Structure 1
Amino acid sequence: MKSLKILLIIHNQAGTGPYEKVLEMAESLANAGQEITLLCTSAKNNFRFSCSSSDKLTIVESPDLLWGQLRQGIDLWNIARRILFLRQFDFDLIHAIDCRPAVILPALWLKWRKKIPLVLSWWDWFGRGGIAMERSGWLYAKTLGSIETFFEEYFRKYADQATVISHTLYKRLNDLGYPRKKIHLIRVGCKPKKSAYFDKMEIRKIFNLPEKKIIFCYAGTLYENDLQLLLNALSIIKSKCVEMPLTILIGKHYIEPSVINKLNIITTGYLSSINEVNQYMSASDYGLIPMVTSIANKARWPSKIGDYLSAGLPLLATPVSDLPLIFKKYRIGMVSKKGDADSYADILYYAVNISNSEYQFMHKTAFSFIDQELNWEIISNHLLKIYQLSN
């Protein structure tokens, strides 16, 4: 396959949200010999583009007049500047992730103006009871959220090929009338981390963590419903456990000090060093996925799954995303029967009392799953085949 000039376009600000995972994907495609331009939104610039290049990867940050959480792909200035900027370049293919206005409108302009094939990925269920409802409430979902839903759904039909990250989104896209033969299940991958080879006991000494205690780890943002599910599950197992496991929450989480002490929780706050995050994971025994079984959680693929597994951590998850299907093939942890605190507590308690041989089997299977399913090198090869179908 000849080298392609590919525009990879997202709405996210550099360094936030799924940006890091998209960057990993871009780097993997560049390592496979493709010329990649990654277009994202600047975290600060209002008027100027900024560019940086290395080998076959160029990162372009577009300006945006909005601020904070509003810099999420809805600014008309950002859209116009992207279109004007992109018209000077020639690409062989456009790969757009999700359908925010700052993504889909420039992508479609390029597609129609310069006859460039478009691959469109669906990574989140936002409208129709999805993330818009969870994050912003009923009023937003029924007003501005309806505009989000329009953009999320309407323009999908113009893609030459489509990728989704879960069977839930596969079905939704097909229900919108998009042909099955053009829909491809491509998950968010990961690159095996050196953290997988950190010595667990040595890291525990460095962070002054108990050497013999079972440690649960959660990395990232926990929405209120998910946080309450976890806290309720921990409260349930506290009455059963001879020795309460330690739970490390990486990221910004506010929990009452009395609850932290009662449930044996450590909150690290925001960690700017990825290496430090990886070390905390390597010091732990299990990676937590405590998510309620909402529409949005059934549709998404939590990127932390790859991070946990690449650190050798078996998962303790509720039945979200495609995890129930995956666990039937790969014993990479345990999934609860339901998405409630009682069911989740059952697998937490079982994990505390599991035999070493069973734990080691899940630990080794985690690496096998990464190597066979989630390694970016493998996913990039799948993407290149999809790109060929688009031409």
Structure 2
Amino acid sequence: MPRRVLLHSHHRTFKVRYPWRTEGIAQALAAAGSEVTILCTADTARWRRRESAHDGVRFVEVPDLLRGRQRSGWDLWSAWHRHTWLRRQHFDLIHCLDTRPAVIHPTLAHLRRAPSPLVIDWADWWGRGGLIEENRPAWYRFAFERLETHYEERYRRHADATTVIARGLAERAVGLGVPRDSIFWLPNGCAPQRIPVVPPATHRAEFGLPADAFVVGFNAADVTIGFSLVLAAFAQAAAALPQAHLLLTGNLPTDARALLARTPHADRVHALGFVATDAYTCALTCADVFLLPFTDRPANRGRWPGRINDYLSTGRPIVTQPFGEMETLLREEPIGLLADDTPSAVAAALTTLACDPLRRAALGRHARHLAETRLSWPELSATLEAAYACAERRRVASK
């Protein structure tokens, strides 16, 4: 009988379907023969649960009474739906993708009735000092910082094994009493099959970009830390490189329009916003190099920026900062350049790559190779299986 695994996430379906983490884990497990269910928050449904199957993975989407970004694991109605659904299920292992109340309380109630190994993932520094300081308005921080921190930390020792997206979170888990030998570093994985490697000029006409431009790419899904650095660095690089253009996709900060209005060479900045998946893939391939601001902030100590997985898959080099997981990655793998978090340093790195197409191509080839090997989900599944084996051993030992 195949192993039955539940991946329990507070995220909405569209986020779960990103190949970087939850669905990437699910596909890796399914490919190895497991029977995988993802329990997540519906994108918009408020009253009814919905079930479906995609690529051999079962999706169960529960309703939530909140709206938009607030549909993130805090709703009691969502928690109740998860609890009632879980009462009729049995799994050989549960992997919680973080510990928001709508996830952890139904999970623990289920495990009291039907014990099985529990793995808990830690994929962001959510609470005090982390993303709540960067990505939320002041009123939200005042009202919810203590609650967010409580749920981020309180339940870590319930896990039989822990997966962490960043080694900074591993140290934090150890500080909370989680045994070090039960912690497994599991970065986001790449899905290179979704992004073909094509010459940068292939799709540029579709986005109003000159075929012979030097295009700097930047994308953001949720987190926009360092956006001002991107604009300031591009402005300096553009002054020296008349062929330089900046292509922005995805989420931009609320003050982006004002920042762009004050940016020199703004006529060479192309802000697409969120685009459909096919257009997003084509837009990514227009870049010659990607900027990934990753400055020295507590939130970045607990992050692996998901966008880097798409950048690597395009086969383009990256310019980022010597901090956290990005410093470790770029010191281990020749996939780009590290630059201090000043506009002049980042602009110098961009200029270096603009003037050296052979080096740019070599770094890009290695980036794609990394996406196809070490950071592919088939490769990362070995770590996943090691974490699950650890959880099973510890669960047996605790009886």
- CA spacing shift, 1:165–1:23, aligned 2, 3 Å: same
**Whole-angstrom CA distance in 2 between matches of 1:236 and 1:27:** 43
In structure 1, the residue matched to 2:303 is 300
Q: What TM-score, normalized by structure 2, do the two folds share?
A: 0.90
Alignment partners' CA distance in 2, 1:246 and 1:112: 57
Q: Deviations over 1:302-330 (max 9, x none)?
A: 11111011110111112343111121221
C-alpha distance in 2, partners of 1:230/1:202? Answer: 24
Q: Which moved more, 1:90-99 or 1:363-372?
A: 363-372
1:173-322 equivalences in 2 (<5 Å): 173-221=173-221, 226-239=226-239, 241-253=240-252, 254-256=256-258, 258-259=261-262, 262-263=265-266, 264-272=268-276, 274-322=277-325
Cα distance in 1 for residues equivalent to 2:14 and 2:188: 17
Q: For the Cα contact (< 8 Å) 1:249–1:267, is it kept in 2?
A: yes
Structure 2 residues not aligned, in runs of 5+: 393-399
CA distance in 2, matches of 1:70, 1:223: 15
TM-score (norm 1): 0.92
Q: Where does the alignment leave 5 or more consecutive residues of structure 1 unmatched?
A: none
> Contact 1:33–1:56 (CA<8 Å) still a contact in 2?
no
Amino acid at match of 2:50: S
Query: Secondary structure, in 3 states, of the residue corresponding to 1:249?
Result: strand
Q: Secondary structure at 1:105's aligned position in 2?
A: helix
CA positional deviation for 1:37 = 0.5
Q: 2:184, 2:383 within 8 Å by CA — same for their partners in 1?
A: no
Q: Which amino acid aligns with 1:131?
A: L
Partner residue in 2 for 1:89:
89
Matches of 1:132 and 1:65 in 2, distance apart? 22
Structure 1 residues 19, 13: CA separation in 2 closer, same or farther (over 3 Å shift)?
farther
Determine which structure has greater relative contact order: mean sequence separation of CA pairs < 8 Å that are 6+ residues apart, divided by chain length: 2
Q: CA deviation at 1:114?
A: 0.8
| 1:38–1:203 distance in 2 versus 1, CA, 3 Å | same
Quick one: structure 1 residues 320 and 61, their matched pair in 2 at CA, closer, same or farther if it must change by over 3 Å?
farther
* Residue equivalent to 1:29: 29
- Residue 202 of structure 1 aligns to a residue in which SS? coil
In structure 2, what residue type is equivalent to 1:350?
T
Matched AA of 2:250: G
- Report if the CA contact (8 A) 1:252-1:269 is conserved: yes
Shift of 1:379: 1.5
Corresponding residue for 1:364?
365
Provide closer, same or farther for how the CA distance between residues 26 and 297 of structure 1 changes in structure 2, counting only shifts above 3 A. same
Change (3 A) 1:269 1:79: same
Contact conserved, 1:24 with 1:376, CA < 8 A, in 2? yes
What do you get for the CA RMSD once the two structures are aligned?
2.1
CA contact (8 A) 2:316 2:360 kept: no
Note closer, same or farther for the CA distance 1:255–1:221 as it changes in structure 2 (3 Å cut).
farther
Mapped to 2, the partners of 1:318 and 1:92 lie a distance apart of: 41
Q: Deviation string for 1:355-374 (max 9, x for gaps)? A: 23211220111022123321
Change (3 A) 1:36 1:316: same
For the residue of structure 2 that corresponds to 1:40, the secondary structure is: strand
Cα distance in 2 for partners of 1:221, 1:177 equals 32
The one-letter code sitting in structure 1 at the alignment partner of 2:388 is: Y
Q: What are the within-5 Å matches in structure 2 for residues 338-377 of structure 1?
A: 338-353=340-355, 355-377=356-378
Shift of 1:145: 1.1
8 Å Cα contact 1:64-1:77 kept in structure 2 = yes
